[in-house]
A and B are shown apart, each in its own frame.
Chain A
């Protein structure tokens, strides 16, 4: 109860809601860098994965990328990018955080784009070619629609991962909601850390739910059955927590 009162009085102070270190500004910083890093990573990972899937190459590469992605702790990536960023003159704060987020968002989207397109049954692709479709038509009208659920799901996974990792950006001088956690720990104000943590958790869950909703509306109806059939019996890969 005492603790809850502390949290409430922390929140009640006017300056928590205004200025460059207020909750709204931190929230916007958090969402901005996450969205920017996700879009940049998607622009690189999805086309390259789709193309490799189309020419049916790079299977081993995708497995390797996936496994490396899983073994690399996000905290380690964020920390390792910092000295590189400083050496390149990009400094603290935005750039090391952005680069770390970008790198961490690549593996799930690349792997899923590659396997999603690569797993489209060969006979379908062959019949499309037999019907006289050009390569780009095969890609656009057959492979991409069938691979869409897998690709779109990976964007959601990467988004949740990025939102969670942005929290760690506070360690390399970035703002965002992680600041409240870090600062709270540093001055032993656990109410502040608690508020930051709850906001981060809510943002991560909102991302998951929001993009899940979007997924359902974006994907053509009827695809779910195809995807469901292909995944039956296999354990679906889980995303990695941060």
Chain B
């Protein structure tokens, strides 16, 4: 089979054109898999941060546990889950969500810690309750750091989604696996380059969103 690989071009454009539909479909799958992971990860992280803010002693354990999960290679994490949750979307998402937690929790906590105490004290003196201080003062001021976390998590997850091809998901990663199995270079290139472009595009979009949502950050 190797001579066959050696003689083919890196990318056959006719294949790309013929598979434009499935490339579009898998790009959408890729975005959906990423969106669910970052969305669910964000909700869980916010809950975890609320717990940490209430019981500060838990910060170490929360960061520690998400740090341990972060070290486990995604393929290994999925293989451990498969006996229990099957070759399913659920397995892929549990793994993907796990990797967003450390990034998001850390950034949210760091962002909130960076809020100047004067701002909180002023709000308290004006009669704001703790909950309102959090929502109306702390979160807006921490927003640049929080959004940076969302951006990093998104770019990271786009890369990891490719590995979920192994359990029948994968978005553009499915092309990579397909190419490896058939010794056919074009789909490998399409899947690899596609996921990098997707990461760069989403990074740019989220950076623009960040700028729009935090106009004051531009001044400082």
A167 contacts chain B at the CB level, 8 A cutoff? yes
B80 lies within 8 A of A201 (CB): yes
B41 proximal to A (CB < 8 A): no
Question: Cβ of A83 and Cβ of B103 under 8 Å apart?
Answer: no
The count of residues in chain B whose C-beta lies closer than 8 Å to any C-beta of chain A is 55
Q: Are B71 and A83 in contact (CB under 8 A)?
A: no
Q: Please, which residue of chain A has its CB at the minimum distance from the CB of B179?
A: A79
Residue of A nearest to B200 (CB): A71
Taking A86-B6, A185-B79 as contacts, is the C-beta distance between A80 and B192 under 8 angstroms?
Answer: yes
Is there an interface contact between B159 and A71, defined as CB atoms closer than 8 Å?
Answer: yes
Residue pair B195, A76 in contact (C-beta under 8 Å): yes
Which of B74, B79, B166, B195 is within 8 Å of A194, CB to CB? B79
Contact partner of A200 (CB less than 8 A), chosen from B76, B82, B162, is B76
User: Is the C-beta of B214 less than 8 angstroms from some C-beta in chain A?
Assistant: no
Task: Report how many residues on chain A are interfacial, defined by Cβ distance under 8 Å.
Answer: 48
With CB as the reference atom, state the residue of chain A lying closest to B173: A75
Complex contact B77–A73 (CB within 8 A): no
Whether B73 and A200, one on each chain, are in contact in the complex, defined by CB atoms closer than 8 angstroms, is: yes
Checking B2, B5, B159 against A73 with a beta-carbon cut-off of 8 angstroms, the contacting residue is: B159
Q: Please, what's the 1-or-0 string for B158-184, where 1 marks a CB less than 8 Å from any CB in chain A?
A: 111011011100000100110110000
With a cutoff of 8 Å between Cβ atoms, the chain A residues found around residue B163 in the complex are 73-75, 168, 242
Query: By the criterion CB–CB under 8 Å, are A72 and B71 in contact?
Result: no
Give chain B residues whose Cβ lies under 8 Å from the Cβ of A178.
75
Chain A residue at smallest Cβ distance from B75? A167
Scan B126-170; emit 1 where CB is below 8 A from any A CB, else 0.
Answer: 000000000000000000010011001001101110110111000
Q: Which residues of A are found within 8 Å of B71, using beta-carbon distances? A: 160, 201, 204-205, 208, 241
> A79, B70: Cβ atoms under 8 Å?
no
Residues of chain B at the chain A interface (Cβ within 8 Å): 2, 5-6, 10, 68, 70-80, 82-84, 99, 102-103, 106-107, 110, 114, 145, 148-149, 152, 155-156, 158-160, 162-163, 165-167, 173, 176-177, 179-180, 185, 188-189, 191-192, 195-196, 199-200, 203
Beyond A76-B176, A201-B76, list 9 extra A-B contacts (CB 8 Å): A71-B199, A76-B159, A76-B196, A82-B180, A185-B167, A205-B71, A238-B152, A241-B99, A242-B75
Contact residues of A with B, CB < 8 Å? 3, 70-77, 79-80, 82-83, 86-87, 91-92, 160, 163-165, 167-168, 171-172, 178, 181, 184-185, 190-191, 193-194, 196-198, 200-201, 204-205, 208, 233, 235, 238-242
